[in-house]
Chains A and B, each alone.
Chain A
């Protein structure tokens, strides 16, 4: 125990903990829950780097798709006058510059990682305290940080998939199974389903494990607390993604033929 405390006080990064979190989570979270200092920087750095690589690879594929004229033109586009066609193409091309393809998605992804971690840590601490837990905010931040490592695995898997197939991932998570449509409710549902996959279940299991060890709550209360916090975060993320989707789709749907 004294050794762990010494290690935690003198190190800034804990990359050697990563395999342990992924493959021996019980042992790893024993260590994380009892660590006196902030160890969350390491998983968040790994996650940020992989998310950035994901954006870079996805951005390159998006640019290639744009060059190959795979833009989504509206039906009956051939009936638009040449001037209107040119205006439409110009409008599409203006959203294919580096700012829209790389900078903004990277910024939004990083914001999602860091703000998501911060809010989930806060909500989790609040919920577990309400349930009678004895953990601190710092420990909650460590647990959520390390518990988010499955998302780094997800980003890595997505990067490998895109590199091998040269295709963008169009329906992540369960979004391919949900009903599709233009109605607000369906878009919101679709955005929530995009976030639900095997990696989020992995995250939930890791965080439950960490909460149980750090707060002393039983499995039922820990599970309920973590699932409640994750549902709140999912609804928030789904809402933000829905707003983004609505703003992206603010295009004229009524064709102008002449």
Chain B
């Protein structure tokens, strides 16, 4: 395996909800290697998405350090963080986050608008990545004219438009049927094989077969698979849904 690409040290994240302080992450330490495919699993409220947002530069940690490809995120100002989001990471959301009144091509090209690139270059690149995800015949369709699986593929194409090193996916199959979900997993696996690092937060255990690493999060902390399974059995017996 190659070098460490992501290094997370003692990350804490707290949210203030009225008078109450909720601790979403409680001292997470994590290292991801370059060209790894990591699946992060955990029950609802365990802090999975929070961790992904911190890694994606969409939020800041209360305490601790995050280093991605040599950039220490907590030392970056807002502008530098925006550049990091644009160049280093591609983010895929469960609800796709496509802009409703834009076509698939415009949605995919959107993150390039702020790179000072020409319209022609943006459209050319958007066409390339839409071909990569098998949607070259749906370029002029708006999100409402596409199926859930197709919308997620557009979202993946958008995440790839600036050719990022790191792909972060938050429950990418959560809103999809079984077949579409399997296609998305296959696509993420292909991205990994093409040399990118992929971190997927999911409940879908089928994703584990594509992964090189499995991580488990419980109550804001990374735990072993055994601890996670034990907790799963306990929670299932109490009627909780993982």
B85 within 8 A of A: yes
Interface centre among A76, A81, A89 (most CB of B within 10 A): A76
CA distance A44 to B237 in the complex (A): 84
CA distance A77 to B107 in the complex (A): 10
A80 within 8 A of B: yes
Contact digits for A72-91, partner B, Cβ 8 Å, 1 yes 0 no: 01011111111001100100
A76 contacts B95, C-beta separation under 8 Å = no
Q: How far, in Å, is A185 (CB) from chain B's closest CB?
A: 22
When C-beta atoms are compared, the residue in chain B nearest to A74 turns out to be B114
CA distance A162 to B107 in the complex (A): 28
A69 within 8 A of B: yes
Q: Which residues of B contact A75 (CB under 8 A)?
A: 82, 113-114
B53 contacts A73, C-beta separation under 8 Å = no
B100 within 8 A of A: yes
A177 within 8 A of B: no
B106 contacts A69, C-beta separation under 8 Å = yes
Contact digits for A103-125, partner B, Cβ 8 Å, 1 yes 0 no: 00000000000000000000000
When C-beta atoms are compared, the residue in chain A nearest to B78 turns out to be A254
B101 contacts A79, C-beta separation under 8 Å = no
In chain A, positions 84-101 with a C-beta closer than 8 Å to chain B are 85-86, 89
B59 contacts A257, C-beta separation under 8 Å = yes
CA distance A78 to B85 in the complex (A): 11
CB < 8 Å neighbour of B53 from A76, A77, A257: A257
CA distance A109 to B158 in the complex (A): 42
Q: How far, in Å, is A219 (CB) from chain B's closest CB?
A: 49
B110 within 8 A of A: yes
Q: Which residues of B contact A76 (CB under 8 A)?
A: 82, 85
B99 within 8 A of A: yes
In chain A, positions 232-258 with a C-beta closer than 8 Å to chain B are 257-258
In chain B, positions 64-105 with a C-beta closer than 8 Å to chain A are 82, 85, 91, 95-103
B97 contacts A78, C-beta separation under 8 Å = yes
Q: Which residues of B contact A78 (CB under 8 A)?
A: 91, 97-99, 107, 110-111, 158
Q: Which residues of B contact A82 (CB under 8 A)?
A: 95-97, 100
B95 contacts A81, C-beta separation under 8 Å = yes
CA distance A104 to B103 in the complex (A): 31
Interface centre among B59, B85, B97, B98 (most CB of A within 10 A): B97
Contact digits for A53-78, partner B, Cβ 8 Å, 1 yes 0 no: 00000000000000001000101111
Q: Which residues of A contact B106 (CB under 8 A)?
A: 69
B30 within 8 A of A: no
B58 within 8 A of A: yes
A73 contacts B110, C-beta separation under 8 Å = yes
Q: How far, in Å, is A71 (CB) from chain B's closest CB?
A: 8
B102 contacts A69, C-beta separation under 8 Å = yes
- Tell whether A85 pairs with B97 under 8 Å between CB atoms, given A75-B114, A79-B85: yes
Q: Which residues of A contact B98 (CB under 8 A)?
A: 78
CB < 8 Å neighbour of B100 from A79, A81, A89: A89
- Tell whether A79 pairs with B91 under 8 Å between CB atoms, given A257-B53, A257-B59: yes
CA distance A86 to B102 in the complex (A): 12
- Tell whether A85 pairs with B110 under 8 Å between CB atoms, given A76-B82, A257-B53, A257-B58: no
CA distance A25 to B87 in the complex (A): 60
B positions within 8 Å CB-CB of A: 53, 58-59, 82, 85, 91, 95-103, 106-107, 110-111, 113-114, 158
Across the A-B interface, give the 3 residue pairs with the lowest CB-CB distance, nearest first.
A257-B58, A75-B114, A69-B102
Beyond the given pairs A69-B101, A257-B58, 9 more chain A to chain B contacts, judged by CB atoms under 8 angstroms and listed by A's residue number, are: A73-B113, A75-B82, A75-B113, A75-B114, A76-B85, A78-B97, A78-B98, A79-B58, A79-B85
22 contacts between A and B (CB under 8 A): A69-B99, A69-B101, A73-B99, A75-B113, A75-B114, A78-B97, A78-B98, A78-B99, A78-B107, A78-B158, A79-B58, A79-B85, A79-B91, A80-B97, A81-B97, A82-B95, A85-B97, A85-B100, A89-B99, A89-B100, A257-B53, A258-B53
